Structure 1
Amino acid sequence: MCFQRSLFGKPVPNLPPRRISVLLSTIAVLVVITLVFTLPSSIPSAPSLGRFTDHRISLPALPKKLPSPSILNPFRQAAHPPPVQKNSTSGEAKWFSNWNWLSPFSSSVTLDENRSLLPPLFPRAPIYTYYDHTAVKDEALKEAQNALLLTWRRAWWAQGFKPIILSPAETMNNPLYTELQMKDLNEQLKTDMSRWLAWENMGSGILCNYMTLPMGPQEDPLLTFLRNGKYVKLTRYSGLDNGIFVGSSAAITAAVKESLANKQAMNTTTDFIGTINDKEVDEESRTFEVDSKPDSIAYYDNKTVTEKYSKIAKEIQDDPAKGLQALNKLMISHLHTTWQNRFSDGIAVLKPFPEHMSAAVAPARKLADFLAQCPESPMPASCPPNKPKCNPCVSSTPLVISTPPNYINTSTLYTIGTVPHPYTMAVLSAFRDDIDVRWIRRESERDPWLTKLTKLLLGTGVSGAPRVVKFKEAVAGAQEMYHSLWVTPEKDLPHDLDWNFGFTIPRNATDRGKSETPVPGPERRPQPESDPRDGPVATPEEFKKEKDLLKRAIDFGKARSEPEEKLRGAIEKWNLADTEAWRFARAFLARSRVERLQWAEQEKKYAGGSGAERGKSEGWGRWFDER
């Protein structure tokens, strides 16, 4: 039975419950708004109670005007992103170079979620060598010299320099070339004078023989000084003879003119230094400043090779091409040994979640095995000429390889980090590929990879932003970048990592001096030893499933349907710090390759392409099938 309500004798229409709720909610909102805007102004001012208490708390004064009127406004107008820089894209990797690169999240500066903020590229100081590619030689000798030039370029590039090969073209471009041609010089002196004219044509910088290699850490004081690119005096180094010189443009020009004017010395000497009369003048007036012999530079001149590596010297005398190839192998082995001696604590292949990450870090582990093995050498027990008391690699005691879960910032440990995309991390940690948004929000942790990685450095009670900053410093810091390599599991390792380390990386496993059961059956072979601190090792069945899940993650990143696109967006938003770390590592490695490839392409036009890589380098892909 229905009841008719009335107000003042007049019937009131019946309202549904939903409309009554809406009406009451509207009234409540209006009341709150009225109180907020009218109540503060209606309260009379009263004396402060602060003077009646003994405790005074001084609050920081807020600025009357914010730096940007709309910085805290979530509805602020859209701003144009910074202009796209030249050569800032490689595949899906995008970057923007800026001094503000340590901002936790790149999108706050780039206004583009897919463009990473990287530190500006430091200017590489040019270092020059001279090679006459026009001289008549047999092909075998040319190939041997080209191999030496390639080793020279790799070694100096890895140290942060821009190696440039000069040729007679630069000599003939010098205005003093005509004066040189008018002089009757012996062949050795003429070649050395041509080298100096080519260098003077380029201006200030570093001139060295391509038998001169850096054999020391990047932090070495001399190498740091050379990288700065600021040279005032013309300097040579005791014990290196014609190995390396540094100087300003004015000092080089003055030395060349002094040499050409010394007619008497032209008939008695065979090198440029002999034409400079530094012995007859006081120290302040000398053309060259002579510094002490450096510990970080190795010079493989004829005298050194004869005294220290007589076996190689004899091969060069018997067959120059074959002997120079052997010398090149010796130099590469010394570069590799010097690198190994730097990292006395070994190589750390980071594995924050060891349960199901074996397949993801397999390429990094294989690279570590190659770096830890003893290099091939015609004289295995020998040391570089600048470090006669080095520790030669012995197969029975190889470099230690560990797989710790946390990043350790120390200069005696080389780190190889594998940075997974949050989706890759999710499918591997969950050990299934049917994850959805519900699983992400309710079961997965936020930024698990970066949290575990930086646990020793920052502890547990730290948000993602400072962890990202610490990670970026580990990847691209001025010193840290020489102690680590960061890759992503979704792509194969670059095939040109030799340029990153400065020597040819062996690509074959060698004997480590441990005996194995001489039977073909893998079930009877000794199982690989593992450090209990490194966590569990995947069984063959688990490793196979990990490979399948990793392939699923790689395919997911290439082409996605609309539901998969939403899933990727959800997992990236849930793991902002992990996503930022993945994009940063991917972009930093891609930019390094773009920088080198552009330089290599440009240098092909000069010196007849000398020092270029011959043929196709062997890649690093498909390592997963080796297990």
Structure 2
Amino acid sequence: MPRTANPCTYLPRRLQIVASLTAFVLVCIFFLGSSGSGDSDSYFNNVPYGPQIQQGAHQVVDRLPKLPKELPHVNAPHWLNPFHGPAHKPLEQANSSSGEARWYTDFKWRNPFSSDTTLDEERAVLPPLAKRAPVYTYFESTGKDEKSKTSEQQLLQLWRRAWWAQGFRPVVLGKPEAMNNPLFRAVQGSELEPEMEKEMMRWLAWGNMGTGVLSNWLAVPMAAHDDNMLAFLRRADYPSLTRYEGLENGLFVGNREDINKALKEAIASPAIKRVKSMAEAVAAETFTVDPEHSAIALYSTSTITTKYSLIGQKLDKPSTAGDGLAMLPALINSHLHMTWQNIFSSGIAVLKPLPQHTTTLIEPAIDIARNLSQCPDTPIPASCPPNRPRCKPCVSSQMLITVPPVFRNTSTLFTIATVPHPYTFTSLLHSRLEMNVKFIRRQTDRDSWVLAATKELLGTGLSSFSRLPALKDIIASEYSSARTLWLVAEMPPSRESELDLEGLDWHFGFTLPRSPMPDGKSETPVPGPERRPPPPKSEFGEGPPLSEQELSHERSLLEQAKMVLRRTGSRKAKTSAKTAKALSFMREVIEAWSLADTECWKFVRAWEARRRVERRGWEGEEERFQGKGMFGRWIDQVT
């Protein structure tokens, strides 16, 4: 049948419908447009009350807001207007770079792409740093033997590390802070009991610093990061001066006004010369007593004597007190490690998307997982922390390590993820380093890592760009950051670097084992501290195990990919101009092809770098107060 002369038949059916509707709307506007208030329609004269209805309609129309003749300026994102003028990049913020990693702090960090905010392809947008609530402890070094002094310094470092990992800012105070309090003169010269004199100095130092938490240096947090008590302490909003039932004088919280008010009340009390604690020197209503303290473990003298008699017996004798004190850091560290293992009862998951050619990529993560699942060194293997009497000791079970190909959002599962640069990932998946634009576009998939890692969590219907906000939330939100560890594949922690290992200690809040036996054997009847779990068994999709030759080839590809990224990312790299230009071009091509993978890699790199910068900045501030003064200031070199 010959085609008709109707031009609309040359269009697809959908366009025919759109064209017809458009023509109908234009005809209606042209012939049935609005009329002025002075016009009259003859038909309204034949309708009852017609003129009144017409007049009322015109009054309503005339009162409607007029359409503007010129569109006003709209504060819309710059990418909505392709013809917008150039805009300046946001200014560099303080402490916003480390090595090649650069970041910008903004509340729009969940946007898929950081460059929309920073106008810079190299800066990642990170969430604002949470303000850490201060937690104070008072310490005076006594004239003991060197062994005891070393043990005390280890305990102080352990205390600082445990509180820092839970989101606090630990500060060690001494006599200089107490002497700066205006109330110090009122206490000076008073004939107090030795215990009360030390207690008053402790409170004077706390009152000088202000609002916060006052902790004994043998009181450490042992609970999940989202524990209700720890969440309350982190908010740093304390409505009243509070002590905790069962913790003796181990923990107090309050604001500056309430602290100094309690100090004045104690100084004015006639009972101050015969009591031994602040709770006895002031009225009962001065303190709010909270019976809930399950998140804090206090290793007081009475607790050690009752629960850990092996150490208590040594501390009771002056000749062995140094030996007993030397056993305490290992005991507390083992309890911190064991508490962490009990919290993550489902085990450790080492993320391995597209696992056929990424065995070498996750080796550092596997090493960390095996150290975390190992039983820590302890003088009392089957003991439990004071606040968790029904714990599950490490000697009675072994922590499970799995290698899933997808991320799983399980509260009792700790995940270690290694994020590779798209160049590294493409090299490993296709077993080649020499690539060109034709190969990238025709033989590689876009954003393979992001799509594979979030396939179970977000399904298969979302684009890779739509997955980035959820993935960033998994990495950097307060809830998920305590349940995950994200590593950059090209810069993982090295087992030979003590600085890298200490960084992991501060992240977890306890010292990880350093030198386990490589064969995982133990000669003791029960799993001893030297026993190390075997490498984990992978889940579905792993395929046949790789031979030594294949693993060696993977390691070679990984090292060469790292070298290429160093050459193209560092200005100091010694590379010929022609080679550097070719490598940089290929890197830019791969980054443009896998935008979501690149954004995730840059986000994780900046996130880990800022975490290190934050801790080092705090250590630099506290370093000024180490070993200063003549009144027993504690000495501890932070590395």
The question of a shared fold, defined as TM-score above 0.5 by the shorter chain, is answered with: yes
Equivalent of 2:625 in 598, 606, 625: 606
Partner of 1:443: 443
Q: Using the alignment, how far apart are the partners of 1:444 and 1:307 within structure 2?
A: 64
Name whichever of 402-411 and 529-538 sits farther off: 529-538
Q: For residue 352 of structure 1, give the secondary structure of its aligned residue in structure 2.
A: coil
Partner of 1:187: 194
Partner of 1:418: 418
Contact 2:370 / 2:534 at 8 angstroms: preserved in 1?
Answer: no
Partner of 2:452: 452
Q: Percent identity?
A: 44
Q: Using the alignment, how far apart are the partners of 1:45 and 1:160 within structure 2?
A: 63
Q: Using the alignment, how far apart are the partners of 2:207 and 2:75 within structure 1?
A: 51
One-letter code aligned to 1:271: S
Equivalent of 1:147 in 120, 141, 154: 154
Query: How much has 1:434 moved relative to structure 2?
Result: 1.5
User: How do 1:127-526 and structure 2 match up within 5 A?
Assistant: 127-133=135-141, 135-263=142-270, 265-278=271-284, 286-318=285-317, 319-394=320-395, 397-493=397-493, 494-495=500-501, 496-510=503-517
Partner of 1:30: none
Partner of 2:38: none
Deviations 1:34-75 (A, max 9, x none): xxxxxxx999952389x9xxxxxxxxxx99765439643323
Q: For residue 391 of structure 2, give the secondary structure of its aligned residue in structure 1.
A: coil
Contact 1:417 / 1:487 at 8 angstroms: preserved in 2?
Answer: yes
2:89 is aligned with 1:81: yes
Q: Using the alignment, how far apart are the partners of 1:314 and 1:443 within structure 2?
A: 70
Q: Using the alignment, how far apart are the partners of 2:490 and 2:421 within structure 1?
A: 8
Deviations 1:570-602 (A, max 9, x none): 000000000000000010011011000110111
Contact 1:402 / 1:534 at 8 angstroms: preserved in 2?
Answer: no
One-letter code aligned to 2:28: P
Partner of 2:590: 571
Q: Using the alignment, how far apart are the partners of 1:416 and 1:169 within structure 2?
A: 43
2:52 is aligned with 1:46: no
Query: How much has 1:444 moved relative to structure 2?
Result: 0.3
Taking a change above 3 Å as real, the CA distance of residues 467 and 69 of structure 1, as seen in their structure-2 partners, is closer
Q: For residue 47 of structure 1, give the secondary structure of its aligned residue in structure 2.
A: helix
Equivalent of 1:533 in 540, 561, 566: 540
Query: How much has 1:216 moved relative to structure 2?
Result: 0.5
Contact 1:144 / 1:322 at 8 angstroms: preserved in 2?
Answer: no
One-letter code aligned to 1:88: S
Q: For residue 590 of structure 1, give the secondary structure of its aligned residue in structure 2.
A: helix
Q: Using the alignment, how far apart are the partners of 1:507 and 1:564 within structure 2?
A: 38
Q: Using the alignment, how far apart are the partners of 1:323 and 1:249 within structure 2?
A: 37
Taking a change above 3 Å as real, the CA distance of residues 173 and 446 of structure 1, as seen in their structure-2 partners, is same
Partner of 2:127: 119
Q: Using the alignment, how far apart are the partners of 2:288 and 2:326 within structure 1?
A: 35
Q: For residue 594 of structure 1, give the secondary structure of its aligned residue in structure 2.
A: helix
Name whichever of 314-323 and 351-360 sits farther off: 314-323
Deviations 1:73-123 (A, max 9, x none): 323211011111000000000000111110100000011100000000000
Query: How much has 1:386 moved relative to structure 2?
Result: 0.6
Query: How much has 1:293 moved relative to structure 2?
Result: 3.5
Q: Using the alignment, how far apart are the partners of 1:211 and 1:544 within structure 2?
A: 48
One-letter code aligned to 2:311: I
Q: Using the alignment, how far apart are the partners of 1:69 and 1:613 within structure 2?
A: 51
Query: How much has 1:529 moved relative to structure 2?
Result: 6.4
Q: Using the alignment, how far apart are the partners of 1:591 and 1:70 within structure 2?
A: 28
CA RMSD of aligned residues (A): 2.6
5+ residue gaps, structure 2, are 1-21, 33-66, 494-499, 524-532, 569-579
Contact 1:351 / 1:403 at 8 angstroms: preserved in 2?
Answer: yes
Query: How much has 1:320 moved relative to structure 2?
Result: 2.6
Taking a change above 3 Å as real, the CA distance of residues 334 and 562 of structure 1, as seen in their structure-2 partners, is same
Taking a change above 3 Å as real, the CA distance of residues 527 and 321 of structure 1, as seen in their structure-2 partners, is closer
5+ residue gaps, structure 1, are 1-40, 52-61, 279-285, 517-525, 617-627
Query: How much has 1:615 moved relative to structure 2?
Result: 7.8
Contact 1:369 / 1:509 at 8 angstroms: preserved in 2?
Answer: no
Q: Using the alignment, how far apart are the partners of 1:165 and 1:69 within structure 2?
A: 47
Deviations 1:481-538 (A, max 9, x none): 000000011113133110100000112235898689xxxxxxxxx9966244361343
How many residues end up aligned between the 2 structures? 547
Taking a change above 3 Å as real, the CA distance of residues 198 and 302 of structure 1, as seen in their structure-2 partners, is same
Q: For residue 570 of structure 1, give the secondary structure of its aligned residue in structure 2.
A: helix
Taking a change above 3 Å as real, the CA distance of residues 465 and 190 of structure 1, as seen in their structure-2 partners, is same
Q: For residue 478 of structure 2, give the secondary structure of its aligned residue in structure 1.
A: coil
Name whichever of 606-615 and 294-303 sits farther off: 606-615
Partner of 1:554: 562
Q: Using the alignment, how far apart are the partners of 1:297 and 1:515 within structure 2?
A: 33
One-letter code aligned to 1:551: E
Q: Using the alignment, how far apart are the partners of 1:44 and 1:269 within structure 2?
A: 91
Partner of 2:13: none
TM-score (normalizing by structure 2): 0.82
One-letter code aligned to 1:155: A
Q: For residue 360 of structure 1, give the secondary structure of its aligned residue in structure 2.
A: helix
Partner of 2:112: 104
